[in-house]
Amino acid sequence: MNKVVYVSRSGNTKKVAGAVAKGASAKAVSVEEANLSKPVNILFVGGSIYAGKIDGKLRDFLSALRKDQVKIVAVFGTAASKKSALPEVKAILEPKGILVSDDAFQCKGKFMMVGSGHPNVEDLKQAEAFAKRICEDNSHE
């Protein structure tokens, strides 16, 4: 089973989470609703950048994640800049032995005057393709 968990303050990452869920044939849930009572094969984690960092709720969720709950984590997100959540997610999970894919998806997310219209249709298409690719790459498990 695959899962998509995200944090989204203004809806940009939520839109991308929907596309990722479509590509992965999985369900997208916000981090508040996330329930990992059953082990997950691929956990897609969506997070954006706020003042240079990921959201505190996402940080708490990742800090509580255990190696036996997930085979691999794949990261996606939006931001006004090109900054991805990937390095911060890796810094939290890798010391616990949790595998984090280097293949991550990032697109612009509207923020004030920046990134107007994003994520757009093309971004969402690419996000769906990213999720399909990750699933194919990990289908031998």
Collect all residues with Cβ–Cβ distance below 8 Å to 52 and sequence separation of at least 6. 83
Which one among 2, 48, 84, 101 touches ligand FMN, defined by CB under 6 A? Answer: 48
> Residue 64 is which amino acid?
A
Half-sphere exposure of 138 (CA within 13 A, CB side): 24
For residues 90 to 129, the per-residue mask of contacts with ligand FMN, x marking binding by CB under 6 A and - elsewhere, is: -------------------xxx------------------
> In 9-120, where does DSSP find H-type helix?
12-24, 56-64, 86-93
CB of 37 to ligand FMN, least distance (A): 26
- Residue ranges of E strands in 7-141: 27-30, 40-46, 70-79, 99-100, 105-108
Half-sphere exposure of 67 (CA within 13 A, CB side): 6
Does residue number 51 form part of the binding site for ligand FMN (CB under 6 A)? yes
Q: What is the footprint of ligand FMN within residues 11-30 (CB under 6 A)?
A: 11-14
CB of 38 to ligand FMN, least distance (A): 26
CB of 47 to ligand FMN, least distance (A): 8
Residues that bind ligand FMN (CB under 6 A): 8-14, 48-52, 78-81, 83, 109-111
